[in-house]
Amino acid sequence: MKTQQELLAMASAMLMLSACGNYGLTNADREFFDRKHDMLTAVWTEPFGYDEVRSNNAPKGPFLGNGDVGVVCHTTPNGQTMQLSKVDFVTDGWNDWAGDGAAAIGVGGVNIRVDDSTATGFRYEMDQLQTELRMATGTVRPVQMTTWMSVNDNYIVTELRTEASAPLTVNVETYASDASERYAVTADVRDGIAQVTRRTRADEGMRWVSQVGVSTCVLGSASASGIVKPGRVSTTFLLTDDHPVYVVAYVSGGGTDDNARLDEAYKALEACDTGSIKKLKQEKAGWWEEMWTRSYVETNDSLLDRHYLSSIYLMASAHNGHTPACGGMYGVWNMEDDMMYHGDIHLNYNSQAGFYSMFSANRPELSLSYFDFLERMIPEGRRRAREEMGQVHPSLQGKSCRGLLFPVSALGIGSFYGSYWQQTVDAPLNVPLFCWYYEYTGDTDFLRTRAYPFLRECGDFYEDYLQKEDHGNSYRYCITTGAHEGSWDLNPSSDLAFVELTFDRLLRYSEVLGVDADRRALWQDILSHLPEYKVIMPTMEPNQGLPVYAKNEAGWDLPAHLIQMHPVYPCEVLNLHSDSTALQIARNTIYYYGVSNRGFTETMNELGLSAFVMGARVSFSPEILVDKMKVLIGRAGKNFLIRDGHHCLEKTAVVETVNSMMLQSVDSVLHLFPCWTPTPASFTRLRAKGAFIVSAGYDGKEVTTLQIKSELGNECRLHNPWPGRNVSVTENGKSVSLEHKDGIYTFRTKKGGIYDVTPM
């Protein structure tokens, strides 16, 4: 049987082939990214110290990541410190306002300092396209440092060069964080390799102990190392102008088996030479070139393009096949011991949103570590549903359910902590992600072994949790739960949408898989008797005087979040094919909360970027969406991240917003530029449901080019991009037979076929 790591590698390789396929890496790809290079390079012209970049949430300084290890740098005029974190270095027994239990903590780092007088000329660059950090020291004799990470293991390499004729002394300090005495540190030197460790608490009652190690060596110059104090090793060498010197760090350990794996790190560094470093760098460059060119868009707006592409960098740095555990809201950048929310996977939207964009952006395998985490939590989620319903709300005392009950917070190593905040949706919030992986890739094995079993667990829960009551001349299935943190609501539209999505997909998928025929009657009955979403007139000023959706059946109207628009996204049960009245009320609601009450940019900034996806999915004003997104993007820090003091990866939802403005898959029908401004734009290799890879151009008035690749040979359904005109489809210059009804063109495809679509 193949290991999960082998399966992940296979999935990544297959997706790489299918994503590039017959498209290859074209001159157009290269030209596009050549134009974006300067845009994706952040620049600092003054040194920035630890106090300037210290953060217990999103990174504030220049950063790197490889899905396992994170790097955030700070500087002095004559050197830099690479602060390190590891995604599975997690302590037990942390206690703060967010709860008791697991928490991600910092590792330590590597400081490189040039022994020379300071001068002008300091410059630091974070080149996201090349995934490098470059520094020119502000010293009399400047030194250039280039730092990068390997993608399939945990090397962090800094190449140092100088044009100074006289030798320069360089000091390297390898350290384990001593921010807290609760965590033991060690230091050692082994055959010239510096090694330090940090260890989590081993007190009585700790469910595990974790150790992490940082090891460094110097290539290209003789060096001398010595222990400075516990947890710190100092290494010195001479740098001359005749050749570069490499400082190579390796991060090891983590997990729950109390092992820093220093022998592994020692062997990895002992085997290093300039040839192996060159190979690692080539592998890194190839991996990122392929990752960048999976898909991209051209909005012709530099600010929007920058944040879109920077979000791809953030996603791929935080989540990829090289990870022993899934990262949380802050990805792999848990640099401090007091991370907000323990550096957790926040399950009532925030962490899920960090994965929203991966499917349409043609990078679905980046989400696999998240599914691994969810499946590890199923046994505990079942126990909680049976035994802990009363902890959700006093009214549920004594109630027991099948299926899954997740709290709000968890760590990716497989540990829940904290309370439920009166919400029962934390497990079903993941139903869309499971659905999307199958629907965008067509992977029926994933559907059979992973998606459908998880959905059935959520269906089991709802079967037991919903209350059937008389209603008019019939009956309905009601849900009482927290629509938002701390509330307790009858029939909130947010939760009703997850009920509808869960049973809709259980019905659909059970037929695809040929299972659970005996359960379909109940599932259909629930779907046919769900309450309607409550519609009210807005109560807060300002408003347009138009009806909006309330947050619950009682008419709760608090302009803080657009949670009542979960039916639009991520549930997609209210969409472009819905009743026109429902769509207009959705637009009214988005305007009321997002524009009139400044939710897009002020009161709901925490949820704001997902709200933009909601707007795109109902064809809300594209001009307003772009304008408000740019307001948020304009607040980004020097490292291009939008920071609100709490969140991080959910801000990548701008990618799904733009993708949805340019391409939507609605009930298996492709819609081209359904919500774009009257300005030229294009997209290349976006992924659509049905395993289609789509590229298209738009001149501000109509679609100018359209090409569709069919990965699996599914039937393709296309909403006519040229209303009032007929459509022609060709494959290799040969005409393809079409069916046409109600503005939708349908044609059969071949596996691997590429289809050009033009107006007639």
Cα torsion at 583, 546, 559, 610 (round to 10°)? 20
Q: What's the DSSP call for residue 725?
A: S
- What gap in Å lies between CA 633 and CA 627, rounded to an integer? 10
Per DSSP, the residues of 582-651 read HHHHHHHHHIIIIIIT-IIIIITHHHHHHHHHHHHHTT--HHHHHHHHHHHHTT--TTS----SS--GGG
Q: How many other CB atoms sit within 10 Å of the CB of residue 363?
A: 24
Q: Write phi, then psi, for 319 (nearest 5 degrees).
A: -135, 115
Q: Write phi, then psi, for 708 (nearest 5 degrees).
A: -125, 125
Burial tier of 680 (Cβ tally within 10 Å: 0-12, 13-18, 19+): middle
CATH topology of domain 4-297: Beta-galactosidase; Chain A, domain 5 (2.70.98)
Burial tier of 463 (Cβ tally within 10 Å: 0-12, 13-18, 19+): middle
- Number of helices (H), then strands (E), belonging to the chain: the values are 19, 39
Largest CA distance in the chain: 93
Which residues, including other chains, have CB under 8 Å from residue 361's CB and lie 6 or more apart? 294, 295, 312, 315, 655, 656, 659, 686, 687
Per DSSP, the residues of 336-392 read STT-GGGG-EETTTHHHHTTGGGTTTT-GGGGHHHHHHHHHTHHHHHHHHHH-HHHH
Which run of H or E residues covers position 51?
helix 50-53
Contact 533, 493 (CB under 8 A): yes
Q: Write phi, then psi, for 609 (nearest 5 degrees).
A: -70, -30
- What gap in Å lies between CA 401 and CA 240, rounded to an integer? 70
- What gap in Å lies between CA 107 and CA 69, rounded to an integer? 10
- What the block records as the tokens of 715 is 């039937």
Q: How many other CB atoms sit within 10 Å of the CB of residue 203?
A: 10
Comparing CA positions, the residue from 325, 409, 401 lying closest to residue 98 is 409
- What gap in Å lies between CA 361 and CA 686, rounded to an integer? 5
Comparing CA positions, the residue from 176, 335, 195, 325 lying closest to residue 268 is 195
- What gap in Å lies between CA 90 and CA 191, rounded to an integer? 30
Specify which residues 95 forms β-bridges with. 100
pLDDT in tens, 535-584: 999 999 999 999 999 999 999 998 668 999 999 999 999 999 999 999 99
pLDDT in tens, 393-427: 999 999 999 999 999 999 999 999 999 999 999 99
- What gap in Å lies between CA 177 and CA 298, rounded to an integer? 43
Question: Residue 26: what pLDDT?
Answer: 86
Contact 483, 489 (CB under 8 A): yes
- What gap in Å lies between CA 514 and CA 17, rounded to an integer? 30
Domain ranges of the chain: 4-297, 344-529, 533-665, 680-759
Comparing CA positions, the residue from 710, 708, 685 lying closest to residue 24 is 685
Specify which residues 331 forms β-bridges with. 328
Q: How many other CB atoms sit within 10 Å of the CB of residue 263?
A: 13
- Determine the Cα angle at 217 with ends 212 and 219, to 5°: 150
| Options 2.40.50.140, 1.50.10.10, 3.40.50.1820, 3.90.480.20; CATH of 344-529 | 1.50.10.10
663-666/548-549 β-pairing: unpaired
SS3 per-residue string spanning 244-293? CEEEEEEEEECCCECCCCHHHHHHHHHCCCHHHHHHHHHHHHHHHHHHHC
Query: How many angstroms separate the Cα of 626 from the Cα of each of 508, 594, 611, 718?
Result: 35, 13, 12, 26
Comparing CA positions, the residue from 163, 293, 338 lying closest to residue 241 is 163
- What the block records as the tokens of 674 is 């359904």
- What gap in Å lies between CA 286 and CA 280, rounded to an integer? 10
CATH topology of domain 680-759: Immunoglobulin-like (2.60.40)
Which residues, including other chains, have CB under 8 Å from residue 597's CB and lie 6 or more apart? 540, 542, 559, 603
pLDDT in tens, 20-48: 344 457 899 999 999 999 999 999 999 99
Which residues, including other chains, have CB under 8 Å from residue 294's CB and lie 6 or more apart? 19, 20, 361, 362, 363, 685
- What gap in Å lies between CA 326 and CA 337, rounded to an integer? 18
Burial tier of 211 (Cβ tally within 10 Å: 0-12, 13-18, 19+): buried
Tokens 């001479």 appear where?
Answer: 238
Q: Which residues of the chain have pLDDT under 70?
A: 1-24, 559-560, 605-608
Query: How many angstroms separate the Cα of 473 from the Cα of each of 522, 527, 530, 553?
Result: 19, 17, 14, 19
- What gap in Å lies between CA 13 and CA 456, rounded to an integer? 30
- What gap in Å lies between CA 717 and CA 714, rounded to an integer? 10
Chain Cα centroid distance, residue 292: 15
- What the block records as the tokens of 460 is 């089991």
- What gap in Å lies between CA 130 and CA 321, rounded to an integer? 19
- What gap in Å lies between CA 632 and CA 141, rounded to an integer? 41
